[in-house]
């Protein structure tokens, strides 16, 4: 067994990144000539892919003076970015206020509050767009009180993935990589990773994942045709977009748990569903391939019954 030396770090902020890739062999057994890999972003200290952009947006703002200890960081979030803001705020001495739809999973509400964060809830029927409108109203009323990173418009969001996630994927798989798959929420993961991956000399197809319907249960993902489109989103960056239903994402999350031992969230289930669909296309064409999907977070953040719950009872 290869021995890996344990890292010593000064702060939780130094634990972000360098997340593992694991090959999915059972759920992708129909495509033996096409490797399907999962980038386990739940291995970040805050438990999700959002640790990367949250920390980058905070650190960049602290360097240039936009974020100081006398200001309150406020932003709209569906949960994971809020957990990251809360954790890093506690570590860096920054007060945090979050605005989120009231139907965000109870686990993420509780985790954010455990760090001392203030939370404002908005109408669940308005989704993330309602939270965004509320934040904008707060900041307009008291601009000197708040620092508003605005994860949907902040270039530090996608740059975190350009410098981190995308680079790590290329370092691990290099010339073998043929496809990259990520969901669209703030769109930062897709924008940053794809821009980095496209710098590789080999042609690599980058596929975005979007909910199939405006009303969906894939928390954290946006149905862009019916939503406020994030300012950092550039439709020319991904090569194409695959639409995944709520049922497909939930069912794949269940399969990944029971067949791979990975308990992932529903947006991650949607990403893996799309990655396997891509792998099937490549297999039918008689080609070898290597597909990477982003696993955004763990499934334990969704244990509290939700509106889209279908068969679990606690």
Q: What are the structural domain ranges in the chain?
A: 12-45+155-302, 51-147
Please give the CATH topology (third level) of the domain spanning 51-147: Rossmann fold (3.40.50)
DSSP string, 29-89: TT-TTEEEEEEEGGGSTTSBTTHHHHHHHHHHHHHHTSS-TTSEEEEE-SSHHHHHHHHHH
Q: Do domains 12-45+155-302 and 51-147 have the same CATH topology?
A: yes
Run means of pLDDT, 10 residues per run, the chain, 314 residues = 73 96 98 97 97 98 96 90 96 96 82 93 87 94 96 96 98 96 97 98 97 92 93 98 98 98 97 98 97 96 59 46
User: What's phi and psi for 181, nearest 5 deg?
Assistant: -130, 130
Describe the chain by its helix, strand, coil percentages, rounded to 5: 45, 20, 40
Q: What is the pLDDT of residue 286?
A: 96
Quick one: angle between helices 266-284 and 246-260, nearest 10? 90
Give the contacts of 302 (CB within 8 A, at least 6 positions apart): 105, 107, 219, 265, 266
The confidence score (pLDDT) of residue 129 equals: 84
Q: What is the pLDDT of residue 4?
A: 62
- Coil vs helix vs strand at 101: strand
Q: What is the pLDDT of residue 314?
A: 41
Q: What is the CATH number of domain 12-45+155-302?
A: 3.40.50.1100
**Three-state DSSP class for residue 217:** coil
Alpha helices in the chain, H assignment, sequence order? 51-64, 80-92, 106-114, 127-141, 155-160, 166-173, 188-197, 246-260, 266-284
CA pair distance 132, 152, nearest whole angstrom: 9
Q: Are 127 and 101 in contact (CB under 8 A)?
A: yes
Scored b (16 or more CB within 10 A) or e, 46-69 reads bbbbbbbbbbbbbbbbeeeeebee
- 170: tokens are 């290329």
What pLDDT, on the 0 to 100 scale, is given for residue 305? 52
Phi-psi region of 304 (alpha: psi -120 to 50; beta: other; left: phi over 0): beta
């Amino acid at each position: 067994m290869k021995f890996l030396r344990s890292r010593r770090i000064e702060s939780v902020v130094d634990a972000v990144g360098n997340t593992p890739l694991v090959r999915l062999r059972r759920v992708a057994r129909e495509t033996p000539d096409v490797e399907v890999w999962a980038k386990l972003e739940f291995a970040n200290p805050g438990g999700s892919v959002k640790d990367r952009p949250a920390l980058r947006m905070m650190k960049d703002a602290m360097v240039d003076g936009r974020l100081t200890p006398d200001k309150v960081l406020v932003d709209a979030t569906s949960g994971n970015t809020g957990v990251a803001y809360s954790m890093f705020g506690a570590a860096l001495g920054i007060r945090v206020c979050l605005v989120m739809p009231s139907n965000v999973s109870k686990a993420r509400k509780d985790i954010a509050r455990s760090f001392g964060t203030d939370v404002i809830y908005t109408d669940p029927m308005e989704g993330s767009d309602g939270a965004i409108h509320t934040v904008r109203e707060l900041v307009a009323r008291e601009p000197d009180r708040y620092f508003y990173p605005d994860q949907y418009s902040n270039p530090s969001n996608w740059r975190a993935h350009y410098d981190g996630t995308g680079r790590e994927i290329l370092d691990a798989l290099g010339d073998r990589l043929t496809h990259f798959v990520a969901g669209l929420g703030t769109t930062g993961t897709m924008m940053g990773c794809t821009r980095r991956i496209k710098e590789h000399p080999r042609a690599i197809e980058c596929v975005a994942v979007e909910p199939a319907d405006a009303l969906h249960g894939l928390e954290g993902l946006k149905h862009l045709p019916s939503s406020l489109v994030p300012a950092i989103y550039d439709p020319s960056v991904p090569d194409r977009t695959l639409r995944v239903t709520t049922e497909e994402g939930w069912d794949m999350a269940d399969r990944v748990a029971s067949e791979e031992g990975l308990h992932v969230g529903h947006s991650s289930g949607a990403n893996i569903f799309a990655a396997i669909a891509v792998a099937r296309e490549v297999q039918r064409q008689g080609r070898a391939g290597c597909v990477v999907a982003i696993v955004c977070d763990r499934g334990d953040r969704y244990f509290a019954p939700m509106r889209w719950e279908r068969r679990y009872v606690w």
